[in-house]
């Protein structure tokens, strides 16, 4: 079996510019991967695509984004073989951490090897955009500025290294619903260029100060728990906190490792799903 890692992402900034004619929103966002990852196993079959996951929230049919990735490659390149895909789910589902998108991206990369398609990363990223807006970024990983509906990628250097505390309240959030609730009149717009400078110059203080997400207030208005978790995370000592993507996961940046146990243990009192991970920063090897 071929194994591929599928890491989660967080959005350091997420600026929603406007709603487009096609219903999607034009965005500018800085995404970076963290070392919380699903593990995708791929085994060639005679022709069919199968999905196997022990996680009850992960669909095991064509709704699964990894299934869609395999189907897309099979149809586009007339591949006769099929694949059995196992998903060892570690990333919380519907959390704003792009778990499904990362599974799809890992499947594209793994099948490129297994089915010997010889496609470039750029070709895989381009195909990935047909599956979902975040899939192109997940093909590359690392740190990037994403524009368009999320599929136009410009690579950025690694942010200054730090710990990331992730806390997910026990609610799932629909990305479409959150974008649907976006109100341009009330929107806050993060300083994307400032964040790029902070990353390029390795300025941790500025990176913390410039975290921002236009979708945060939409989800906060729907779910009071998210605001409570933000408050708790700040109180327990995170340097800066923000909701990731459309939520509901809240992340906190922490420079000093010594502070992690207090924040982690404090949050565990409120929230079942808490993780202390590192920023991955750089793009990672395949497996």
Ligand X SMILES: C[C@@](CO)(OP(=O)(O)O)[C@H](O)COP(=O)(O)OP(=O)(O)OC[C@H]1O[C@@H](n2ccc(N)nc2=O)[C@H](O)[C@@H]1O
Ligand Y SMILES: Nc1ncnc2c1ncn2[C@@H]1O[C@H](COP(=O)(O)OP(=O)(O)O)[C@@H](O)[C@H]1O
Binding residues for ATP: 92-102
31 binds ligand Y (CB under 6 A): no
DSSP state of 48: -
- Binding partner of residue 169 among ligand X, ligand Y, none, CB cut-off 5 to 8 Å per kind: none
- Summarize as ranges the residues that interact with ligand X (CB under 6 A): 11, 14, 24-25, 27, 29, 96, 98, 101, 132-134, 149-150, 175-176, 179, 245-246
Identify the CA nearest to 113 among candidates 47, 60, 56, 42.
Answer: 42
195 binds ligand Y (CB under 6 A): no
Q: Which segment (61-69, 193-201, 263-271, 273-281) binds ligand Y by CB under 6 A?
A: 61-69
Q: Which segment (12-20, 60-68, 226-234, 265-273) binds ligand Y by CB under 6 A?
A: 60-68
152 catalytic? Reply is no
Identify the CA nearest to 101 among candidates 250, 257, 246.
Answer: 246
Active-site residue identified among 38, 103, 134, 239: 134
272 catalytic? Reply is no
Identify the CA nearest to 151 among candidates 113, 200, 98.
Answer: 98
Give the Cα separation of 169 and 94 in Å (integer).
Answer: 11
Give the Cα separation of 99 and 102 in Å (integer).
Answer: 5
Contacting positions for ligand Y (CB under 6 A): 58-59, 63-66, 87, 93-101, 103, 175, 245-246
Which residues are identified as catalytic? Answer: 9, 134
């Amino acid at each position: 079996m071929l194994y591929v890692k599928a890491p989660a992402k967080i959005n350091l900034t997420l600026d929603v510019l406007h709603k487009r004619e096609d219903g999607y929103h034009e965005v500018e966002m800085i995404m970076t991967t963290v070392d919380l990852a699903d593990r995708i196993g791929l085994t060639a079959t005679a022709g069919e695509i199968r999905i196997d996951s022990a996680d009850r929230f992960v669909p095991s049919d064509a709704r699964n984004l990894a299934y869609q990735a395999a189907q897309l490659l099979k149809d586009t390149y007339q591949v006769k073989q099929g694949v059995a895909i196992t998903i060892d789910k570690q990333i919380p589902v519907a959390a704003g951490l792009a778990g499904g998108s990362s599974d799809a991206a890992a499947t594209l990369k793994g099948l490129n090897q297994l089915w010997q398609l010889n496609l470039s990363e750029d070709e895989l990223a381009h195909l990935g955009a047909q599956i979902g807006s975040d899939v192109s970024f997940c093909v590359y990983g690392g740190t990037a500025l994403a524009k368009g509906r999320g599929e136009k990628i410009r690579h950025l250097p690694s942010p200054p290294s730090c710990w990331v505390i992730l806390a997910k309240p026990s609610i799932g959030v629909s990305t479409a619903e959150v974008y649907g609730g976006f109100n341009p009149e009330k929107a806050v717009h993060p300083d994307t260029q400032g964040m790029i400078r902070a990353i390029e110059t390795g300025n941790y203080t500025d990176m913390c100060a410039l975290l921002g997400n236009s979708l945060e207030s939409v989800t906060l208005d729907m779910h009071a728990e998210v605001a409570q978790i933000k408050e708790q995370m700040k109180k327990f000592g995170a340097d800066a906190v923000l909701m990731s993507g459309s939520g509901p996961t809240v992340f906190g940046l922490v420079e000093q490792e010594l502070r992690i146990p207090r924040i982690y243990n404090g949050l565990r009192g409120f929230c079942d799903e808490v993780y202390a991970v590192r920023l991955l920063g750089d793009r990672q090897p395949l497996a």
